[in-house]
Amino acid sequence: MFTSNPKLGTTVGATGGYITRFDAESRPSIFAASAQYSNTGSIVAGAFARTSFDADHQRLNAGIAYGNIKNDYDDYLGTGVPLKNDAGLKSFIARYLYRVYGDWFVGAQGIYQNFAISGDTAFDDLVLEILGIAPYKSGGVGLVAYHDSRDNDFKPTKGWVVSVNNLAYRESLGGTQNFDVYRIDLRHYIPQGDGNVFAFRQLNHLTSDAPTQNLSPVQLRGYKVGQYTGEYMSQFEGEARIKLAERWTATAFAGIACTYGRGKHCSESANLFPMAGGGVQYVLKPQIGIVLNLEYAQGKNGSNGLILRTGYTF
């Protein structure tokens, strides 16, 4: 793996996985682990499972993550103040879905994470204190309504995905504060003929009573996750996937995000975050659609990212 982005810097790493089918009617299941190390001294590692079984009537996703991330912000949370900090993260998350009718699923999800953060200097610690950012533990549970009519999980050419879910973080679940997070995620894949596809995504991330470090972040490619946040965040992305050859495709994409709430409005340019970019993909496993994806994305204020990964972004 190779990435270069505002969050981690330039990283190298490795990923490995095992793909199988539990039965003929189920979708492919994947079990994988990865680790990355960056030129900033950051370390990120994790393992996950994405499964489909019982003739695709049941799906279980789970993951664990560890990170020791060294950030260097030129403009933290839009305050105009530079900030260097070390952030440590340990996290576990799981989601279970059960097919109830047609392409509709219902289910539940849960998360527990332990997040530690400190500044590189006394001034950085003071900035964190002023902004109300402190180490915390959080545990949350929620419900999921999910629709999935894609023809393929990894390289879809048609269909819809609609996901509506929440996480209720509570002190009784091991957290240090009560707050709520809601997500509405819509994705549409439109075939254009000759193997070409247009993909569209509209994502909403909404919070209620969340601490500063859990506000809704801009999640577009090319931006440092956590640098630009708001009580609410909505973003739109469009992506053209163009078939070049039997195993080669190219992407051209653009999008825009807005952070709002707590006095922020989408009518203000400071709260708008455009993005555009492109990439090239190679199909590693044609029978199930696993792709190797190299993309570059450019945002505003010098934000940009270059990443080599497996799979499309959405």
Tell me: the pLDDT tens digits for 249-272?
Answer: 999 999 999 999 989 999 999 999
pLDDT at residue 76 in the model? 62
Please indicate whether residue 176 or residue 133 has the higher confidence score (pLDDT): 176
Domain boundaries, the chain: 2-310
Which residues neighbour 159 within 8 Å (Cβ) at sequence distance 6 or greater?
A: 148, 149, 150, 151, 188, 189
Length of the chain: 314
Distance, in Å, from the CA atom of 161 to the CA atom of 178, rounded to the nearest integer, reads: 30
**Using one digit for the tens of pLDDT, what is the confidence trace for 130-148?**
555 556 788 999 999 999 9
Distance in angstroms (rounded) separating the CA atoms of residues 37 and 70: 11
CATH class of 2-310: mainly beta
Residue 276, pLDDT above cutoff 60: yes
C-alpha 290/C-alpha 19 separation (Å) is: 10
- Residue 129: band (very low, low, confident or very high) from pLDDT cuts 50, 70, 90: low
What are the pLDDT digits (tens) for 89-118? 888 999 999 999 999 999 999 999 887 766
* Exposed/middle/buried for residue 189 (C-beta within 10 Å: 0-12, 13-18, 19+): buried
The per-residue pLDDT of the chain, averaged, comes to 89
pLDDT score, position 127: 57
Residue 6 pLDDT greater than 80, yes or no: no
The Cα-based distances of 21 to 11, 30, 32, 51, 102 in angstroms read 32, 9, 15, 9, 21
Question: For position 288, what pLDDT does the model report?
Answer: 84
Is the per-residue pLDDT at 81 higher than 80?
Answer: no
Q: Poorest-confidence range of 107-121, 143-157, 297-311?
A: 107-121
